[in-house]
Amino acid sequence: MEEKVILPETLIAKTIQNANSLADYLKENFNKLLQKKGEIRHELERRGKIINCIGTGNIKNAYVIDGAHIAEVDKASSYSISCAVAINQELDKSRYTSCSAILPHVISLPSISSGLMTMQEIMLAVDILDGDDSSYCFIDGSKISMFITINQFYSGLAQHLPKALDTWRKDVFHEPGKTITKFESKDYLTKYLLSPRIIGNLKLVTTTQLIEEEFPEMSCNFDDKTLASLVLNGGEMLAPIKYINPAKDKEYHMNELNPYAKEATDAINTITQDTFRKNRWESSPIHWRDESRNSAGKGNMC
């Protein structure tokens, strides 16, 4: 049954009024930040936090991989549409995959849909590396988040659709069975996690670590992306920052419905130990300004 909610006029009026107050507050705080732009840039330069962008001239065969998905529910059925793309400097080498599947009405539908997308991203990267020893793949996010997404996929099935996976595995010509059976045909995930030629990049929009370390008095209102947007000139980027594990002593586990659960679990815990207990980097958040991508000359933050 569809229900409509009508908001009281007083609530709407207060919302509009508070929105204006919030806009004024943000403007006031950003103006304070602008006044310190020169000081902030000078301090970052002094500490070696601003460096020139490193070109990909020495990497002749680089791919950038990303994916997207949507999970929708209507009265008759629910469905997932997902895809993954791998873009190369030479566009004719670029490739993509897609998956469109009708699925049952379950609460874990978003996790299942996201898992199908992530499987495609992982398979694209591993297949590219298997086909060319000189290739490198840059992924959006971290390998740990990809592991978690795959685990959520299998955990959602175990909880809400315990018999569906066996049915899908037998139907290799239709989705989602086609994507799942290919993903499970070999240990894609472990190779993905351990390959040094698959490189994760975290978004600075999701971090506040740099601004907390360098300018803690501003960290309550701004994130690292705001800081980078303020101080960087064309052709510059912020130096990588160490990725902080929110639960550094936690061990990760893959749901046993994954046929390579043990191998993947061992691999991810090897990564987290190397990254967090031995102070290595699993991936490095960076931010740069590229003037050439904006015809107006203002530059894009990438």
Tens-place pLDDT, residues 282-297: 334 444 544 444 333 3
- Locus of tokens 């008759």: 76
Whether 113 and 161 have beta carbons less than 8 Å apart is answered as no
- Dihedral over Cα of 194, 143, 253, 152: its sign: negative
Most confident of 35-39, 200-204, 214-218, 273-277: 35-39
| CA angle (190, 152, 286) in 5-degree steps | 65
What Rg, from alpha-carbon coordinates, does the chain have? 23
Closest listed residue to residue 40, CA positions, set 227, 216, 197, 165:
227
Structure tokens at 228: 């980078």
Q: Is the pLDDT of residue 301 over 50?
A: no
| Main-chain phi, psi angles of 253, to 5 degrees | -135, 140
Q: Which helix (H) or strand (E) holds 84?
A: strand 78-88
- Distance of CA 162 to CAs 14, 30, 166, 207, Å? 48, 51, 8, 37
Structure tokens at 270: 């090897």
Domains of the chain: which residue ranges? Answer: 62-201
- Chain segment 117-133, per-residue pLDDT in tens: 999 999 999 999 999 99
Give the residue, 166 or 215, on which the prediction is more confident.
166
- Dihedral over Cα of 239, 133, 276, 274: its sign: negative
Strand pairing of 50-52 and 236-238? antiparallel
Whether 84 and 188 have beta carbons less than 8 Å apart is answered as no
Q: Is the pLDDT of residue 277 over 80?
A: no
Least-confidence region, from 68-72, 188-192, 236-240: 236-240
Structure tokens at 4: 């409509």
What pLDDT does residue 6 have? 59
C-alpha 215/C-alpha 40 separation (Å) is: 8
**CB crowding 244-254: b at 16 or more within 10 Å, else e:** eeeeeeeebeb
Least-confidence region, from 98-112, 126-140, 228-242: 228-242
Closest listed residue to residue 299, CA positions, set 223, 238, 226, 229:
229
The pTM is what? 0.71
**CATH number of the domain located at residue range(s) 62-201 in this protein:** 3.30.420
- Which percentage of the chain shows pLDDT scores above 90? 42
C-alpha 32/C-alpha 207 separation (Å) is: 21
Kindly state the DSSP code that residue 274 receives in the 8-state scheme: I
